Amino acid sequence: MRRALFPGTFDPPTNGHLDILRRASALFDEVIVAVAMNPEKNPVLEPGERVRLLREISKDLPNVRVASFEGLAIDFAREEACTTLLRGIRTVTDFEYEYAMAIANRKIGRIETMFLVSSEEYAFLSSRLIREAAGFGGNIAPFVPPAVEKAFVAKMPKRAGRKKPRR
């Protein structure tokens, strides 16, 4: 069985994540979306909320399973008998970081990494961008599935708006 692990923080899950997941589900017998529990990142959504949302938005993909984990992704991949780590790549900067991680993961964990290049319409999209936009009251609907928008906007702390420009 070809089983891949798609690890990430997913705070929040985006249309870009869903695009990668849909494409990966066509390549593997099973894809496990692994929600990292990393409190140092100060997530807006709790791990359980992210797991629930990812399950909801991927319910039409029967070979996708969602779980959470702590620690190293390669250790979780080993526990789940995954042979491949799956990573989305948007930019050259992403590639440089992910390439170094892939080499380290192969050396330490004896696991291969597969890069899926982002679809053009999501190449600019990041969870950080969405958190920033939502924090200022921006419309995030074009960037996330409807269930994610509702849950995320409800939890997102509002920041003080920007001052109006002087005339």
pLDDT tens for each residue of 10-54: 999 999 999 999 999 999 999 999 999 887 778 899 999 999 999
Tell me if residue 68 is catalytic. Answer: no
Choose the catalytic residue: 25, 58, 127, 131: 127
d(CA 7, CA 107) in angstroms, rounded, equals: 18
Catalytic status, residue 25:
no
Choosing from 90, 106, 119, 155, which is the catalytic residue?
90
Residue-level pLDDT at 158: 62
Of residues 164 and 21, more confidence is placed in 21
Angle (nearest 5°) at CA 71 between 77 and 156: 105
Residue ranges per structural domain of the chain:
3-155
What is the C-alpha separation between 34 and 52, in angstroms, rounded? 12
78: annotated active-site residue: no
* Distance separating alpha carbons of residues 59 and 66, to the nearest angstrom: 10
Our answer to whether residue 59 is catalytic in this structure is no
CATH 3.40.50.1220 fits 3-155, yes or no: no
What mean pLDDT is reported for the chain? 92
- Give the C-alpha separation, 48 to 37, whole Å: 10
